[in-house]
Amino acid sequence: MTLLTMEGVYKRYGGVQALKNASLSVNAAEVHGLLGPNGSGKSTLNKVLAGTVRPDQARIAIDGKPVTIDRPLDAYKHRVSAVYQQLSLVPDLSVAENLLLGTELTRGPFVNNREGRLYAEAAIEPFLSGLDTGFSLDKKVATLSPGSQQLVEVAKAMARKPKILVLDEATASLRRDQVELVFSQVRRIVSDGVSVVFVSHRLEEITTLCERATIVRNGETVATVSLADTSEQDLVRLMVGDEAFTPSQEGRRTNEIEGKPVLTVRGLSAPGVRDVSIEVRRGEIVGLGGLQGMGQSELLHALFADIPRKSGEIAIDESSVKTTNVRSAIRAGFALVPGDRGTQGLLMVRPIQENLSIASLKKRLVAGLFISMKSERKAADNEVKQLNIKIGELSDAVSSLSGGNQQKVVIGKWLLNKPRVVLLDDPTKGVDIGSKAEIYSIIRDLASQGVGIVLNSSDDKELLELCDRVLVMYEGKVVDELSGDSVTQDNLVAAALRVGDKEGDDGQEN
């Protein structure tokens, strides 16, 4: 019996058509898998269901009745709960307070009433064996390990007694035993008639937990299959499509890059990164692929020394560098372009000129020069011209620019610093198509000047189009390397899901 249908779902973010005519049909008492490459629209579809993304068009029915879900409260009323990989807990509140947040029990300033306490205890009870030692409901969420926080998140969603539960990469940061706990609770609620939409980067989890799965590709639903009757190769084929993506006119770089490495990394470990060794040659663009959240971003930040490293050696131009903080990383020749421009890359309310010169300020001070406004202005002016940043005045606030042009400012501020290695962390996420193409040509340009590039992208097409080589990451490790003709979307998806690789893995450490 069908419990949920979503049909004709469309959603556009700026220049990106995230969903076009997507659909999903889930039975009562079913765990339904949702499969698709990175960026295919799975999370957007789930967020439409949970009311956190407003679709351009959608027909949704629950229990055969049409419903409108325009905001989270609507989803709550229809008893839809969702858990994502990114946590939504309030770090400064206790576990109990978080569990009660948004329920009727939080009326009034205190949640320490008996009813609330019982609710919280019942919610957390099934997950106790997977939580940190010394766990208590009164601990602040911020003090828990990431895995425990994720379990609290799942407990919170299940405690609301949803009719439909969405688990979108919700097991990504969990250890095997914690995943098992979640699975057993999922099975329990499903036997009570609840429907679960399940997204996981571990194909094995999907085949273990689900009987059916719906496959999305480029924002469209391509099929719903019975997993028992579908081979892993067929799943990959469905996800990738027959006309696998071929790069645009400029074409993928297929240079055999010879010559000296500009970056050498040996045995690097950091939170989320396990024993990574890589080499990047001058002028080479090396991609970091795989499913999102497999340590790609953490690797870049560990190289940039803005997260602590546990071990590892780094050399630039074959001489070892000791980088213990961002300042020393910049001095050694690193630049990092974050994807999240608003929070990491830019001072939004400050002038464009100031944003452009801020990264190189230190360098010029170190050189013993005082900064003349005139030279700052000239450098910024040059950068704006070179990168074709469309601005009004250098004195305008960065927030006045379009997303793509803001991102070019982020890149520009680093180029003033003449880096040897540029680390790009999902640089075009949410950027419109025109600016995307311009950012691509900036990246190619940098490479042709001999800079080494490491590019993390949540968009497989970007990797295919730009990279000479792609390293595929899985749970913090580099598990595969694609180069030359083997850089294809099929290989990328298969490597990301580790199709044909049955080696067990116990998941991330917390």
Contact positions vs ligand ADP (CB under 6 A): 13-14, 16, 18, 36, 38-44, 429-430
Which partner, Mg ion, ligand ADP, none, binds residue 39 by CB below 5 to 8 Å per kind? ligand ADP
Q: In whole angstroms, how close is the CB of 200 to Mg ion at the nearest point? A: 10
Q: Which is nearer to Mg ion, 45 or 471 (CB)?
A: 45
Closest CB to ligand ADP among 16 and 302?
Answer: 16
In the chain, what is the greatest distance between 2 CA atoms, to the nearest angstrom? 74
- Tell me how far CA of residue 79 lies from CA of 32, 151, 154, 158, 329, in angstroms: 17, 20, 15, 11, 49
452-456 β-sheet, strand order? 334-337, 421-425, 452-456, 285-289, 469-474, 477-483
**10 Å Cβ neighbour count for 88?**
13
User: How would you classify the pairing of strands 311-316 and 261-270?
Assistant: antiparallel
- State which residue, 36 or 419, has the beta carbon closest to ligand ADP: 36
Q: Out of ligand ADP, Mg ion, none, which partner does residue 312 contact, by CB within 5 to 8 A per kind?
A: none
Torsion of CA 159, 163, 168, 171, to 10 degrees: 40
- The secondary structure of 384-440, three-state, reads HHHCCCCCCCCCCEHHHCCHHHHHHHHHHHHHCCCCCEEEEECCCCCCCHHHHHHHH
Our CB check for ligand ADP shows the closer of 181 and 291 to be: 291
Minimum Å distance from CB 171 to ligand ADP?
A: 15
Residue closer to ligand ADP (CB basis): 309 or 461: 461
Shortest Å distance, C-beta 448 to Mg ion: 34
Q: Which residues pair with 10 in a beta bridge?
A: 57
Whole-number Å distance between alpha carbons of 475 and 483: 21
Contact 398, 347 (CB under 8 A): yes
Binding partner of residue 18 among ligand ADP, Mg ion, none, CB under 5 to 8 Å per kind? ligand ADP
In whole angstroms, the minimum distance from the beta carbon of 134 to ligand ADP comes to 35
Supply the DSSP string of 348-383, one letter for each residue: TTSBHHHHHHHHHHHHHHHTTPPPPHHHHHHHHHHH
Min. distance of Cβ 163 from Mg ion in angstroms? 23
Could you tell me the smallest distance in angstroms from the CB atom of residue 176 to Mg ion?
22
Q: Tell me whether residue 55 or residue 507 sits nearer to ligand ADP (CB atom).
A: 55
Q: CB of 39: closest distance to Mg ion in angstroms?
A: 8
Please name every residue paired with 316 in a beta bridge, in sequence order, or none if there are none.
263, 319
Least separation, in Å, of the C-beta of 199 and ligand ADP? 7
Q: Nearer to ligand ADP by C-beta: 11 or 281?
A: 11
Give the DSSP per-residue string, 217-230: ETTEEEEEEEGGG-
Instruction: Please check whether residue 478 is in contact with residue 448, taking contact to mean a CB–CB distance below 8 angstroms.
Output: no
| CB-based contacts of 157, cutoff 8 Å, min separation 6 | 81, 82, 83, 165
Question: What's the closest the beta carbon of residue 80 comes to ligand ADP, in angstroms?
Answer: 17
User: Shortest CA distance to 403 belongs to which of 336, 340, 344, 360?
Assistant: 340
Q: Binding of Mg ion at residue 148 (CB under 5 A)?
A: no
Complex with ligand ADP: residue 413 or 429, whichever CB lies closer: 429
Out of Mg ion, ligand ADP, none, which partner does residue 81 contact, by CB within 5 to 8 A per kind? Answer: none
Of the candidates 40, 43, 488, 489, which one interacts with Mg ion according to CB under 5 A? Answer: 43
What residues pair up with 478 in beta bridges, in sequence order? 473
Closest to ligand ADP by CB, 36 or 452: 36
Q: Select the binding partner of residue 16 from ligand ADP, Mg ion, none (C-beta < 5 to 8 A, by kind).
A: ligand ADP
The full length of the chain comes to 510
Binding residues for Mg ion, rule: CB under 5 A, are 42-43
